[in-house]
Chains A and B, each alone.
Chain A
Amino acid sequence: MEDMLFYDRMQFAFTITFHYLFPQLTMGLSLLIVYFKGKFLYNKVEKYNDAAKFWMKIFALNFAMGVVTGIPMEFQFGTNWAKFSELTGGIIGQTLAMEGMFSFFLESSFLGLFIFGEKLLGHKLHFVTGFLVFLGSWMSGYLIIATHSWMQHPVGYEILENGKFVLNNFGALFSNPWLLPSYLHNQLASLVTASFVVAAIGAFYLLNDKHHEFGRIFVKTGVIFGFISSVLVAVPTGDLTAKNVVKYQPATFAAMEGIFHTEKGGSEIVLIGQPNTLDKKLDNKIAVPNILSFLTYQNWDAEIKGLNEFDEKDHPTNIPGLYYAYHIMVGLGTIFIGILFFAVVQLFRKKLYKTKWILWSLVFLLPFPYIANTTGWYTAELGRQPWLVYNLLRTSEGASPTVSSGNTLFTLLGFIGLYLLLGMLFLILVGKMINKGPEPIKH
């Protein structure tokens, strides 16, 4: 039984991690493409239209990857988590079905028009189709996070005698206090990824001494959007999300911060250190006293509960993993704000395009927003363990009862092979598009 659950979890973790590399770019990038196209409509400068078209191609490839890796996610609730689906389908099925009906149809219908329809539609309608694609992708995010929020903080339900969760308040799914901060946090984080990608390609062009005009547009747009979104990811949305964790999942918060024991007189914030789950302490830690209490409760001496206050069977199952995921996310977010702050300063001093170290940093930072987004999701998901539905349904009770580990490992290996292939193809093709660059303006 144990290994069945292990492979089910590995397969979901692997396929969702790979999948989310794509939507996190498409959600943010759709906004930037709408911005480029809108700017073109406003100032009639042709190169903004070319910029929109260039990113549209990369968007289209990303979108296709997101779609093909996304369908397995919906299927896997049933294939690998049948018991969970049976018990909660009446509730999470609502939001997942709504995603299909409201956002996937919108996105897929208008993406075709957006990609093939510029000549047929004219620029204004072309802009509208781009906007609708953006709307569809952000609505998709909303409905997924609504589903996620219900699992983190279940609302509007009752549990029948046979263990089934039934919905008794549809509106509660959307007024869930977990939803709005998480949604905005996630969407802004997606904008951070897209901004870094756009800035990195711009910096790549400038450092390579080609496509100068596009290089400058991309760096400028990426840096400005990136800075604003990086700040908003931390404050207020990240802060509010963390406060929800403190309030509704205190054991999770203790593990995220590496607090094994409740401390009197205020909690320190740990910057670096290794959780030692054997001795229940942090090794080699570097910490600043009282800051965590202040950040959490605006009170330097507030008490934050340690893991010792909770029953061990309700502790997050992977405390070190959760701790590292959270710290990597926060650490990277801080670095992003720092670098982008310098970039914005240089931009306003009109020196950014000549400041080599920032351009090089932008190129090398490209993978890191992906890592920050991924570890952010790991924080949320590992933090919810050992529960599927927080405090109500354990992960061990949700797996498919009749699918053996041999079958799950078979499909997991298949997914690994197939996704490695997809990843390589994607990198080759995107590399080719980027190297070729946007169409030259006019000959």
Chain B
Amino acid sequence: MELFWYIVLVTMLAVYVILDGYDFGAGIIHLFFAKTEKDKKAITNAIGPFWDANEVWLIAAGGVLFFAFPTLYASSFSGFYLPLIMILWLLIFRAIGLELRGQIHNSMWETIWDKAFGIASLLLALFFGVALGNIVRGVNLGIVMEGVSTHEAHYFFLPLWNPTFSPQAEHLGILDWFTVLLGIIGVVSLAIHGANWIIFKTNSSLNNRLKNVIFTLNFVLLGLVIISLFVWHVIEPKPFHNFITNPWLWIFPIITFTGLLGLFKIKSFKKDGYGFLFSSLFLFGGLASTVASIFPKVLPSTNDVNPSLTIYNVAADEYGLNVGVYWFAIAVVLVAIYMTIQYKVFKGKMDDVGYGEH
């Protein structure tokens, strides 16, 4: 049962990253590449009717984490206290940036909310990458000092950074060079992903320029991914251990690289949706490969005193996990129906949806 809920949780997070990821990416593109009012309109039209429903995947994934793995939820949410609260604040700015911009027609007002939307999206992409970095790097569980736990074995607390910015320091911080590297990968990959979504959903004059942007950024992304693979051993000496014992797991890295390399053909795609498909493959494959590399750990311990958190020592009891399957199965069917309806109604190009025009 633990394994079932773990797959559910990772899948939901992947769906969240793919869906809200294009919103963040659209925000980043909006910040750097949207020059004219028409460009900006095209971008907000492309995500306007969706962003709110996309954000629900985060809440729903949080709910599943809470109910299926309460100890992991408690440990990680209190341990990553500051960045999580900041993510909340950024989500608020992203939302009001989108929703309030069109309410008053005044150029200062519009500039403020454009920037709020763009900067919040950029920082959210960065933070989610950093979060993934923190999870694979691990934390000092139990806050061990001089060989002794100062707290219960599954609790910890991380400040935003430590003076050395090193992922191997004795006192870790949220931001170190490794987690920031993953954060930058997050920003670049979501910028590509968002650009793909805009191309897919609009006939904007931006689209041809965006194809060039995607092509260039994809080189940057490839470079960053290669660098990250070279330095990965710093945080995990045997990153391929799981892949060697379970060769079928190679499917995830293969998906990742299919998505990444496929995007180099962006300029010759026949359909506007293909680019989005490839960037989705990259995001899904990247996330799945990363969590598969540490499985069954979900939060590694960086000390020798306390054991890592695994899906088995953080899960709720058997009865609760079993009974959850029933309502979850019903809910998934309903969610699939809602999404089908939603994307059917808003299918095709969205240039005329009139988002933000009150």
Complex CA gap A418/B56 in Å reads 22
Contact across chains for B81 and A64 when beta carbons are under 8 A apart = no
Known: A100-B63, A422-B92. A402 touches B320 (CB 8 A): no
Answer whether residue B62 sits at the interface, using C-beta atoms and an 8 A cutoff: yes
Complex CA gap A110/B341 in Å reads 9
Contact across chains for B66 and A89 when beta carbons are under 8 A apart = yes
- Residues of A393-443 contacting chain B, CB below 8 A: 400-404, 407, 410-411, 414, 418, 422, 425, 429, 432-433
Give chain A residues whose Cβ lies under 8 Å from the Cβ of B50. Answer: 112
Answer whether residue B3 sits at the interface, using C-beta atoms and an 8 A cutoff: no
Answer whether residue B345 sits at the interface, using C-beta atoms and an 8 A cutoff: yes
Contact across chains for B157 and A403 when beta carbons are under 8 A apart = yes
Give chain B residues whose Cβ lies under 8 Å from the Cβ of A101. Answer: 60, 63-64, 327-328, 331-332, 335
Contact across chains for B59 and A111 when beta carbons are under 8 A apart = no
Complex CA gap A93/B69 in Å reads 9
- Residues of A37-59 contacting chain B, CB below 8 A: 57
Complex CA gap A230/B154 in Å reads 49
- Residues of A92-122 contacting chain B, CB below 8 A: 92-94, 96-102, 104-106, 108-113, 115-117, 120-121
Give chain A residues whose Cβ lies under 8 Å from the Cβ of B345. Answer: 113, 117, 120-121
With beta carbons under 8 angstroms apart, the residue of A72, A77, A110 that contacts B88 is A72
Answer whether residue B91 sits at the interface, using C-beta atoms and an 8 A cutoff: yes
Complex CA gap A83/B157 in Å reads 14
Contact across chains for B338 and A110 when beta carbons are under 8 A apart = yes
Question: How many residues of chain B get a CB closer than 8 Å to chain A's CBs?
Answer: 68
Which of B94-102, B127-135, B175-183, B239-247 sits within the interface?
A: B94-102
Interface size bracket, A side: 35 or more
Give chain B residues whose Cβ lies under 8 Å from the Cβ of A121. Answer: 345
Answer whether residue B316 sits at the interface, using C-beta atoms and an 8 A cutoff: yes
| Shortest beta-carbon distance from A355 to chain B in Å | 34
Answer whether residue B358 sits at the interface, using C-beta atoms and an 8 A cutoff: yes
Contact across chains for B53 and A112 when beta carbons are under 8 A apart = yes
Complex CA gap A69/B79 in Å reads 22
| Shortest beta-carbon distance from B341 to chain A in Å | 7
Residues of A within 8 A of B (CB): 57, 61, 64, 67-69, 71-72, 74-75, 77-80, 82-83, 85-94, 96-102, 104-106, 108-113, 115-117, 120-121, 160, 164, 166-168, 170, 400-404, 407, 410-411, 414, 418, 422, 425, 429, 432-433
Q: Other than the known A78-B74, A79-B78, what 18 A-B pairs have Cβ atoms closer than 8 Å?
A: A67-B52, A71-B55, A71-B59, A71-B91, A75-B84, A75-B88, A77-B73, A82-B75, A94-B323, A105-B53, A109-B53, A109-B342, A113-B49, A116-B353, A164-B317, A402-B78, A411-B81, A425-B96
Q: Return 23 A-B CB contacts under 8 Å, by A number.
A: A61-B99, A67-B55, A82-B155, A89-B73, A90-B316, A92-B66, A94-B67, A94-B323, A96-B67, A100-B56, A100-B60, A101-B327, A101-B328, A112-B49, A112-B52, A112-B53, A116-B355, A166-B317, A166-B319, A167-B316, A401-B151, A402-B155, A410-B82
Residues of B within 8 A of A (CB): 48-50, 52-53, 55-56, 58-60, 62-64, 66-68, 70-71, 73-79, 81-82, 84-85, 88-89, 91-92, 95-96, 99-100, 103-104, 143, 151-152, 154-157, 316-317, 319-320, 323-324, 327-328, 331-332, 334-335, 338-339, 341-342, 345-346, 353-355, 358
